[in-house]
Chain A
Amino acid sequence: DAKTTQPTSMDCAEGRAANLPCNHSTISGNEYVYWYRQIHSQGPQYIIHGLKNNETNEMASLIITEDRKSSTLILPHATLRDTAVYYCIVTSSGGYQKVTFGIGTKLQVIP
């Protein structure tokens, strides 16, 4: 699986959009970008994933650059409950699709 690079931490004001970047310059053609988050002392929660097109669901939007070497997770209106560690993961579909977690980005939403 391709390696990802994320900032260690970010702050965001409550009610504002949180934009979390991720670099995955070695991503290959069949690899997807997945985002999970982990609120303190809980299991990770799936947020969104995409291959090359931008994606949106009820939780977030995922913007993938045209060359697919980076992506941005957008939480449109951050709330205090969005404070968590956000993991950007690149993995191929099919097979075991085991997921390797990096350090992630610690997002602190500030009142």
Chain B
Amino acid sequence: GAVVSQHPSWVICKSGTSVKIECRSLDFQATTMFWYRQFPKQSLMLMATSNEGSKATYEQGVEKDKFLINHASLTLSTLTVTSAHPEDSSFYICSAKRDVTSEQYFGPGTRLTVT
């Protein structure tokens, strides 16, 4: 149990376009979902935290108008990278919590390359 999926697993897009990444909890309802970004040879950096039905809380330095997060249901959160630029190329990872006391379950990640 506690499986989190992401779609797509990798995507290549042109500069200036928008890309949507989906994160789903497959066998549990997630009260909270998190979005991380990881650049090569670096650790994961938390971008934002979202609870179902409410606005996401963004970490300092993360542009909320550029990285749109929608947590419309207890099993789905989406991250949209708007007007993507090459510097947005990264590994994006989501995670989900079953409840406030549970550990985080991570998705497999989405590799975004902006050309």
Contact = CB atoms under 8 A, between A and B. Distances in A.
Given A93-B100, A93-B101, A41 B32 contact: no
B46 A102 contact: no
Contacts of B91: 41
Interface stretch (B13-21, B78-86, B102-110): B102-110
B38 to A, nearest CB: 9
B43 A103 contact: yes
Which secondary structure dominates where chain A touches chain B? loop
Contact of A100 (B32, B46, B100, B111): B46
A99 B108 contact: no
Given A41-B91, A96-B32, A97-B97, A46 B46 contact: no
Nearest to B104: A99
B25 interface: no
Contact of A43 (B43, B46, B109): B109
Contact of A94 (B43, B100, B108, B111): B100
Band of interface residues on A: 20 to 34
B49 interface: yes
B67 to A, nearest CB: 16
B32 A43 contact: no
B44 interface: yes
B100 A99 contact: no
Contact of A44 (B6, B32, B44, B45): B44
Interface in A67-110: 87, 93-104
B64 to A, nearest CB: 16
Interface string B16-51: 000000000000000010101000000111100100
Interface of A: 34, 36, 38, 41-46, 49, 87, 93-104
29 contacts: A41-B91, A43-B4, A43-B95, A43-B109, A44-B44, A44-B93, A44-B106, A45-B106, A46-B104, A46-B106, A49-B103, A87-B43, A93-B100, A93-B101, A94-B101, A96-B57, A97-B32, A97-B97, A97-B100, A98-B34, A98-B46, A99-B34, A99-B95, A99-B104, A100-B46, A101-B43, A101-B44, A101-B45, A103-B43
